[in-house]
Amino acid sequence: MNSQELFDRSLKAAPGGVHSPVRGFGSVGGTPVFFNRADGARLFDVSGKDYIDFCQSFGPLILGHRDPDVAAVVRETVETAWTLGACEPWSLELAEFVINAVPWVEKIRFVNSGTEAVMSALRVARAATGRQKILKFDGCYHGHLDSLLVKAGSGLAGESASDSAGIGSDLVNNTLVLPLDDEAAVDELFAREGDQIALLAIEALPANYGLLMQRPEYLQHIVNTARKYGALVLFDEVITGFRVGLQGIAGDLGIAPDLVTYGKILGGGFPVGAYAGRRDLMDQVAPAGPVYQAGTLSANPFGMRAGLATLQKCKTRNVYAVLDERTSSFSSTVADLLNQKSDHQWEALQYASLFWLRSKTDAPVRRVDQIPAGHKERYARFFHALLAAGIYLAPSGYEVGFLSFAHDQAVIDQALDRIASAVASL
């Protein structure tokens, strides 16, 4: 069967035909592609067509699909244990690796998703501070938990509104939302409500609404302000953790958060999440403390062993430096190809192995309201031209792209040939 036939069937079986909204192609239009095989930098659809993949499952596959070294560990795990629901050595080995690599991680708890990790970290922060309110920033995404799936409201600064049906007003009222890149707004909010705020949560490198790179001095200011008022600081590194380096974006910034959340790469392509941080905060968690959190499949052998194999290879093979160079060269070349054809100028924003293509602007884009008008529509045309040429990007202009270690020079050269052909057809 082809993708259209499978999607028609899927519409009858799942909400919108998918199991995560962006997969439905709502942002770009058209019918989602159904894939049934992956290898290295490539995806293969149900009709046998190959695509060079720059989505990489939205980030977890820093080594590419089915990396041979990780695959060997997975095959061994199949013959060893699938899930135990008991103590085992593999989560200890991964925990010790993370603790040794990241100075501000003194203890860590593994869960099953980034959303679960953030939910648990919020519970710890409220217990530790005795406060209820959480501060987040417009343009940052922290999963689909109720208390952070909110957006800025239309009233006074800091008020929030639900970004989804089914979220109670009591949860929304305890979540404060501010724009990014605005020190004065943070100062004003903390002066008014600082003694009620348990936690400031932020993607220090926002990568869920485009790549909104923040000024280091702004990030340091909001961290200092939060601590001045006794609020804890959470860096959500579900995307950036172990993707931009072993110490994540916090390591690049030289800012030590109180709590940090991880996911994606930490599981080597298997479902995983984690929250971590200072020992006194993590010791609030049961059975050491009164904050309850549990999970039947937490620290499953596949995620723990695949994750450790992935991180070890990243460390020993100089993966981060290699990917930084490849991503910079690739993304800038793609922008140049677009600019040879387009009636407006594109630019590539790149940080480590993340990249985002958008219309060129005179000033940096650090906030959602600064994204150029028409970006969604321009990206949709670009996306479908590349899709037809065998290039798979995330099916949304607000998702970033990723390179993996499997994107070697031969793959990149072939990708650029396909992109040049696609751009010529626009």
- Annotated catalytic residues are 141, 236, 264
Contact 273, 111 (CB under 8 A): yes
Q: Which residue has the tokens 């987040």?
A: 136
Cα separation, 387 vs 357, whole angstroms: 16
- Write out the H or E segment, with its range, that includes residue 420: helix 409-425
Q: Which residue has the tokens 């040049």?
A: 420
Cα separation, 88 vs 68, whole angstroms: 24
CA 220 to chain centre: 21
Name the DSSP letter for residue 254: T
The alpha carbon torsion through 67, 73, 78, 84 (nearest 10 deg) reads -120
- Size (the chain), residues: 426
**How many Cβ atoms from other residues are within 10 Å of residue 300's Cβ?**
26
Cα separation, 168 vs 338, whole angstroms: 45
Contact 262, 242 (CB under 8 A): yes
3-state SS string for 336-400: HHHHCCCCCCEEEEEECCEEEEEECCCCCCCCHHHCCCCHHHHHHHHHHHHHHCCEECCCCCCCC
